[in-house]
Structure 1
Amino acid sequence: MLKKRTGVDLLQALTSGALVCGLDGRIVYANPALGRLIGAAAEQLAGNVFTEIVQPPVKVDCALCLGLQSGDISEVHSGFLKVFTQNGAVEELKVKIKHSRLGEEGVLSLIDPFSEDTILTQAHTDFVSTVSHEFRTPLTSIKGFADTLLHYGAQLPDEEKRRFITIIKDQADRLIRLVENLLAASRLGASRMDLSYRPIPLKKLLEKVAQSIQAKALSKTKVQRVFELSVNPESIELWADADKLEQVFINLMDNAAKYSPADKPVSVKAEYLPEDDGLVRVVVQDQGAGIPADLLPRIFTQFYRVENPLKQEVEGTGLGLYIAKSITGAMGGQIWAESTPGKGSAFTVVFPAATPERQAVHRHRLHAPEDEG
């Protein structure tokens, strides 16, 4: 492989990152440009498996990227390159990958970071594709059942007409939720978020959210969703914007319900942090299929959804977790996810508690003279 010296010299001179892999997926050569991208010496990459350097892209059927020793190799697609920072942390860089077969000897992969224009174009394409699909599904149902009522309503029994109207309403509600999420994402992207802080009784809020999700599930699937709520002590109050906080927990708890088996409860536990009683930790735990470790860094990005093997299709745009993370950060909180495939996922949020000190500072700011520096 690469027996001619001119071939090696050409790859050495490339500004694009280049990898040569055997058909077993192991790297036999990496050029200096790839070493600079990754933050490691190129010669150290030889012997590694391709999938240890480049994360398998989502929904791309490429044998090399999936760690398979046989099968078709996609010619061009996107992926995520592992980058090692100076402090030893591992980050991900979105890249464009172009594969070329080297006969029976292996595969040459050229790797380039996405330019800002390319990222924006790809994001726009993903946005249009996702939103078009999400709008089409409920609109098709609404039109189909409305047409049936219009043409055959007189011949249908009242019970059947009521069922059709209920479906139309449910699908209209789905459209409203979609539009609300898109508007929320738009405001977040433009950094337009007005926040009005006050003490929020956490137990009461979680009960309200659970009842809302249960009512929606019951009307759609006739399944009673179970939420096991534990707030200790029950008097916990968060210092947050009430509407925005509710939106965070609606997205987290609804997400847990969607990705869990219908007969499994969703656990929600809240408590003060042992090391800091000025902060409150809330953990939303599902009993779903779990999320592979390599996908966890992506779940809070816009339009990203993990495939659920328990269902053909999970309703939603992939905006819920992005919105939850953005709102949480804006209100001075933190959010992260932990998961074990086959054992479910846990989403943890940490919010400031409504301590007397925070409320006193807030009152002082409200009543302070405008020119007070």
Structure 2
Amino acid sequence: MPDKSVILAAIAREMQTGVLVLDKEGRALYANPFLVQSFPITGGVEGAPVSAIIKNETLLKTIDGFIGARGGSSKEIEISESGRFFNARIVPLADKAEFSILLFLQDITEEKRVETIKKDFVANVSHELRTPLASIKGYSETLLDGGMEDMDTQKEFLRVIDRHATRMSRLIDDLLILSRLESHQMPIVFAPVDLKELINATSSGFKMQSQDKGIKINVAIRDDTPKVSGDRDRLEQVMVNLLDNAIKYTPSGGSVEVSAAPAGDGHVRIDVTDTGFGIPVEDIPRIFERFYRVDKARSRELGGTGLGLAIVKHIISGHNGRVWVESVPGKGSSFSVMLKVWG
């Protein structure tokens, strides 16, 4: 049987938690590889004062307290260091001869990120549902309080109620789709997909919407564009979301172009380009996040749920493809998708 010290050394070496042993003066006696990687220090860790390794004031004061008292009960605190979060557990070790401290640092940055996303998600959903609900309730109460006597007022109020109810329905539908995509409950069935047929069919579905706004939709698909590997229903949703966005955020008199062509290396590229408002540079990195909107007021006015592009990203990721955007504020945006050729 291997020596216990060998076993303990292997455990400390392979742990995905930082381990730091300090002497009675607060100097490092030992640091495992995870801690060294997380808190690099010039000249090595061993022998260095703890303040040269970790800069968090709360943790340093706690360690100083243990050193001054030469003991105490184990303590856990949460700290942030260089943009990351750690759960720190301080364990004092005292015997007749020496006093030392064991410090365990567990990186909880990812857990914090997920927690923040969940909180933001709940807050955003609550807000998105509360706004149309408040309008529906307000207009309904007005009708019940006597607004039904005027036929024109009644029709206008009912139109507003219907618009907000439709918005809520669309939001719930998008939430369910996104939830199923993220939990992999919406399987992608790969088959050859004819992009020419798919794009023409999807574009035709927006004919009335584009005509109402005076927007021209142009379709340009190269004759040598091969079929791609994908799930037709899911890719149709991608095209619907991209076209819907392009038309919504393009003013009257503008145009939207959908193109597809071989991109080389066994891929096909699809572009949806509009002459709309465009996206500021600082907003582009977050444009595919859930509920992220460049112009919140305009988006809600146009009936956007803030989930369309997040759904696009998840579907394309599920196809092992790529989606990105290029934009010039005031001139328009171009959303591009790269998909693998079938076969």
TM-score bin, normalised by smaller chain = 0.5 to 0.7
Answer yes or no: is 1:245 the counterpart of 2:235.
yes
SS of residue paired to 2:314: helix
Q: Distance in 2 between matches of 1:269 and 1:200?
A: 16
Answer yes or no: is 1:123 the counterpart of 2:163.
no
Answer yes or no: is 1:231 the counterpart of 2:224.
no
SS of residue paired to 1:146: helix
Aligned to 2:203: 210
Aligned to 1:137: 131
Aligned to 1:15: 55
- Native 8 Å contact 2:170 2:305 kept in 1: no
- Provide structure 2 residue ranges, at least 5 long, that are not aligned to the other structure: 1-48, 58-81, 86-106
Change (3 A) 1:175 1:225: farther
Change (3 A) 1:154 1:321: closer
Q: Distance in 2 between matches of 1:153 and 1:270?
A: 52
Answer yes or no: is 1:177 the counterpart of 2:170.
yes
Tell me the CA shift for residue 294 of structure 1.
4.2
Tell me the CA shift for residue 252 of structure 1.
1.6
Aligned to 2:74: none
Give the counterpart of 1:326 among 303, 314, 332: 314
Q: Distance in 2 between matches of 1:285 and 1:216?
A: 17
Q: Distance in 2 between matches of 1:353 and 1:130?
A: 38
Could you give the per-residue CA deviations for residues 113-162 of structure 1, whole angstroms, max 9, x where no partner exists? 982332233212211221122112222333333334444465222x5544
Paired residue type of 1:167: V
Tell me the CA shift for residue 328 of structure 1.
0.9
Larger radius of gyration: 2
TM-score (norm 2): 0.61
Q: Distance in 1 between matches of 2:257 and 2:84?
A: 34
Q: Distance in 1 between matches of 2:132 and 2:297?
A: 22
Paired residue type of 2:287: I
Tell me the CA shift for residue 327 of structure 1.
0.6
- Native 8 Å contact 1:130 1:317 kept in 2: no
Answer yes or no: is 1:303 the counterpart of 2:291.
yes
Paired residue type of 2:182: G
Which one has a larger percent helix, Structure 1 or Structure 2? Answer: 2
Tell me the CA shift for residue 309 of structure 1.
9.4
TM-score (norm 1): 0.56
Q: Distance in 2 between matches of 1:213 and 1:137?
A: 27
- Alignment map for 1:1-373 (pairs within 5 Å): 14-16=54-56, 115-152=109-146, 154-157=148-151, 160-213=153-206, 215=208, 223-233=213-223, 237-273=227-263, 275-276=264-265, 278-307=266-295, 315-354=303-342, 358=343
Mean CA deviation greater in 136-145 or 279-288:
136-145
Tell me the CA shift for residue 348 of structure 1.
0.6
Q: Distance in 2 between matches of 1:145 and 1:224?
A: 31
Could you give the per-residue CA deviations for residues 267-292 of structure 1, whole angstroms, max 9, x where no partner exists? 2111222x34x532110112234334
Paired residue type of 2:55: T
Change (3 A) 1:154 1:187: closer
How many pairs are equivalent?
Answer: 252
Q: Distance in 1 between matches of 2:214 and 2:140?
A: 28
Give the alignment's Cα RMSD to 1 decimal: 3.7
Paired residue type of 1:286: D
